[in-house]
Amino acid sequence: MSCSTTTVTLNSAFPRNSNPKPRDSQNRRETISLIQKCKQSHQVPPIHGKIIRNFQGQDPFVVFELLRLCSNLKSIDYATKIFQQIQTPNVYLYTALIDGFVSTGFYLDAIWVYCRMVNESVSPDKYVVTSVLKACGFGLALEEGRGVHAQVLKLGLSSNRSVRMKLLDLYGKCGAFEFARRVFDEMPDRDVVASTVMITSFSDYGLIEEAIGVFNQDRSKDTVCWTAMIDGLVRNGEMNRALEVFREMQRNNVRPNEVTVVCVLSACSYLGALELGRWVHSYIDKYDIEFNYIVGGALINMYSRCGDIDEALAVFGKMKERDVSSYNSMIEGLAMHGKSIEAIQMFQTMIKQGLRPNSITFVKVLNACSHGGLLDLGFEIFHSMSSIHGIQPQIEHYGCMVDLLGRLGQLEEAYNFIARMKMVPDYVMLGALLSACKIHGNLELGERVAEILVNCGNADSGTYVLLSNAYASSGRWKEAAQVRAEMKENGTPKEPGCSLIEVNNEIHEFLLGDLRHPKKEEIYKKLMELIHELKSEGYLPATEAVLHDIEDTQKELALSIHSERLAICYGLIATKRGTTLRIVNNLRVCSDCHSMIKLIAKITNRKIVVRDRNRFHHFESGVCSCADYW
């Protein structure tokens, strides 16, 4: 960074005190006390006027407090005007102004003021250096930060721990890990705080193995460090590893805090790990972790996504404070479980409580309408966004309406709805319509939608799979094969079906035709027994659901080894009679699996809860909570 060529223009608004009269220390203390008592920005100009009248406008102690006050009140423009009147500002006054810019998010301005200070030959100290390095970090100003680092070395400030920590944070935020590692390795007093900064920085850039490496090397890990590692794993989709680290944390007798349990509950939500989630809930109660709306919302989300909507409602009922996000989580949970009317009622209750719905609220409530096929109510709520609540619909809200129309088979209406929009449709919206075309057998419209996606460069594996399946459903095997070949040629991998089941606090993963599980022989034996028993109950495999041009016997075999069936069979052999089985599947459950699981629930007298990509299915006594509408 070359500070010699960088200047800042600070507008003058007040006359300079050309002949300031010295005041006694008692007068100074009274003025500083008056400044410190100020709580509102409109009180600052009168106080400043009094300071000028008392000839204290050049008193560095008084002006320092005044600048800090402006910073705390977010009055950075006024602080700038005050600073302009200082004839010879010292490093402390520069620090106060730079701090003000940093606290209000004007990071480049903070850097420019630092450059002016250097140009004015005011020697930086450790305090102003840490402040400007913070600005460089938040502003991702790597080159400017490296310039400050060079000055740090020249000034002999590199041994200061606060300066080293800010350098570490700067390089980590900017992804300059070669420099971050060098600073980290050169720290003689490297401690858990430095390790935590490195872990967070690596995690932010998806470098999980590097983060784990730093984490494992630290022998003095505290709660914050453990939490940073768990959070990094969760944010990078490593949910199982996050739970493993949490269990290790427990074995090391390190007590989690509020942030830890929220991270762990997020992992439980993703994996459908209900039993572990319940244990975390009991831990919150046992150790009096603050049950605020953040923790409450995480619990609601966990119970909802793990299949226990009744417990989610119970948590919601016990919350002493609820914000909009709490209601949003509850509305989403009810919608996912097919309780669309209850979700709408929750939305109405929120409004009656005086809480103002936000954009996210309407995504949740419109999804509830989509899951319940509530077309008229959906459009009523959609139009109320702007007419009543002053929120302009965004692409996500339009997408909900397209999904609602598509699920009901009103495909041309959905297509025309997209055509009338004032914004360009995204791949999510077009993908929903393409999926509806496949389900309702409108291949002609499906081809049009797929062509739009491909031409816009938004086609992903889902686009190709849906189009191929649509062709296959119509018996057009040649076209289906061509789409699959094109998909392979473009290097677009198909997302494999995967099902998870929690048994004895352990998550077991199954893929299509999986042979990795140590109990695979017992699982497939149970599967064959079930198929035989189901056929005696009148079950006929829906071989039309297998979208490949192969013999019916091969199709039947392909259906039988779907991942959710393997997970259910493992659950049946690994749990006691009457235990509810909870399955998490990453794809939309196929029609044949849906029919089969209804019968499995009936003949085994089990409740089976399946969470697929779109919603929950509660199978019991031969019926499903979705009423075969999904």
pLDDT for 551 equals 46
User: pLDDT tens-digit profile of 281-340?
Assistant: 999 988 888 888 899 999 999 999 999 999 999 999 999 889 999 999 999 999 999 999
The values of phi and psi at residue 74, to 5°, are 60, 30
**CA-based angle 295:355:300, to the nearest 5?**
25
**CA-based angle 483:399:438, to the nearest 5?**
35
How far apart (Å, rounded) are the C-alpha atoms in residues 321 and 137? 35
Q: Examine the pLDDT at 15 and tell me if it is beyond 70.
A: no
Among the listed ranges 23-32, 153-162, 418-427, 565-574, which one has the minimum average pLDDT value?
23-32
Query: Which tokens hold the place of 356?
Result: 């103002």
Q: Give all domains of the chain, ordered by start, each with its CATH number.
A: 1-157 (1.25.40), 402-489 (no CATH), 499-624 (no CATH)
Instruction: State mean pLDDT over 396-413.
Output: 94
More confident residue, 542 or 92: 92
CA distances from 294 to 73, 226, 313 (A): 27, 20, 16
pLDDT for 13 equals 38
Which percentage of the chain shows pLDDT scores above 70? 90
Contact 619, 608 (CB under 8 A): yes
Closest to 136 (Cα-Cα) out of 102, 92, 183: 102
DSSP assigned state of 494: P
- Which residue(s) pair with 624 in the sheet? 619
pLDDT for 537 equals 78
pLDDT for 6 equals 39
CA distances from 460 to 428, 456, 493, 496 (A): 10, 11, 9, 14
Burial of 210 (0-12, 13-18, 19+ CB in 10 A): middle
User: pLDDT tens-digit profile of 82-109?
Assistant: 999 999 999 999 999 999 999 999 999 9
User: pLDDT tens-digit profile of 265-297?
Assistant: 999 999 999 999 999 999 998 888 888 889 999
Q: Examine the pLDDT at 11 and tell me if it is beyond 50.
A: no
Instruction: State mean pLDDT over 13-26.
Output: 49
Query: Which tokens hold the place of 373?
Result: 């096929």
**DSSP labels for 404-436?**
HHHHTT-HHHHHHHHHH-SS---HHHHHHHHHH
**CA-based angle 288:290:294, to the nearest 5?**
145
User: pLDDT tens-digit profile of 236-261?
Assistant: 999 999 999 999 999 999 999 999 99
Contact 145, 115 (CB under 8 A): no
Interstrand relation of 608-611 and 623-624 (parallel, antiparallel or unpaired): unpaired
CA distances from 194 to 85, 140, 142, 191, 228 (A): 40, 19, 19, 6, 12
For tokens 């199982």, the residue is: 240
Closest to 230 (Cα-Cα) out of 238, 222, 242, 217: 242
How far apart (Å, rounded) are the C-alpha atoms in residues 318 and 53? 57
User: pLDDT tens-digit profile of 357-371?
Assistant: 999 999 999 999 999
DSSP assigned state of 105: T
DSSP assigned state of 187: -
Spatial CB neighbours of 404, under 8 Å, sequence gap ≥ 6 = 366, 369, 370, 373, 374, 375, 378
* Count, residues in the chain: 630
Among the listed ranges 55-59, 167-171, 422-426, 492-496, which one has the minimum average pLDDT value?
492-496
User: pLDDT tens-digit profile of 189-224?
Assistant: 778 999 999 999 999 999 999 999 999 999 889 999
Contact 601, 322 (CB under 8 A): no
User: pLDDT tens-digit profile of 112-156?
Assistant: 999 999 999 999 999 999 999 999 999 999 999 999 999 999 999
Instruction: State mean pLDDT over 562-568.
Output: 94
pTM over the 0.85 mark: no
Using H for helix, E for strand and C for coil, what is the string for 30-99? HHHHHHHHCCCHHHHHHHHHHHHHCCCCCCHHHHHHHHHHHHHCCCHHHHHHHHHCCCCCCHHHHHHHHH
Q: What's the one-letter identity of residue 466?
A: L
Contact 171, 183 (CB under 8 A): yes
Q: Examine the pLDDT at 550 and tell me if it is beyond 60.
A: no
How far apart (Å, rounded) are the C-alpha atoms in residues 80 and 333? 49
b (16+ CB within 10 A) / e for 217-236 = ebeebbebbbbbbbbbbbbb
CA distances from 345 to 296, 309, 327, 341 (A): 20, 15, 11, 6
The values of phi and psi at residue 538, to 5°, are 100, 10
Q: Examine the pLDDT at 31 and tell me if it is beyond 90.
A: no
At 521, is the pLDDT very low, low, confident or very high (cuts 50, 70, 90)?
very high
How far apart (Å, rounded) are the C-alpha atoms in residues 92 and 111? 15
CA distances from 621 to 464, 596, 598, 625 (A): 37, 12, 7, 11
542 — alpha (psi -120 to 50), left (phi > 0) or beta? Answer: beta
Q: Examine the pLDDT at 559 and tell me if it is beyond 70.
A: no
Q: How far is CA 147 from the centre of its chain?
A: 34
Q: Examine the pLDDT at 540 and tell me if it is beyond 80.
A: no
Among the listed ranges 264-268, 346-350, 409-413, 456-460, which one has the minimum average pLDDT value?
456-460
**DSSP labels for 605-625?**
T--EEEE-SS-EEEEETTEET
- Find the helix or strand (DSSP H, E) in which 499 lies: strand 498-503
User: pLDDT tens-digit profile of 455-513?
Assistant: 776 666 667 777 777 777 667 777 777 777 777 777 666 678 899 999 988 899 999 88
For tokens 């969760």, the residue is: 234
For tokens 């400017």, the residue is: 144
Using H for helix, E for strand and C for coil, what is the string for 509-525? EEECCCCCCCCHHHHHH
pLDDT for 556 equals 54
Q: Examine the pLDDT at 21 and tell me if it is beyond 90.
A: no
pLDDT for 542 equals 56
Q: Examine the pLDDT at 387 and tell me if it is beyond 60.
A: yes
Q: Examine the pLDDT at 555 and tell me if it is beyond 50.
A: no
Burial of 18 (0-12, 13-18, 19+ CB in 10 A): exposed
How far apart (Å, rounded) are the C-alpha atoms in residues 67 and 89? 12
**What is the residue-averaged pLDDT of the chain?**
88
Question: What sign does the dihedral 485-487-490-491 (CA atoms) show?
Answer: negative
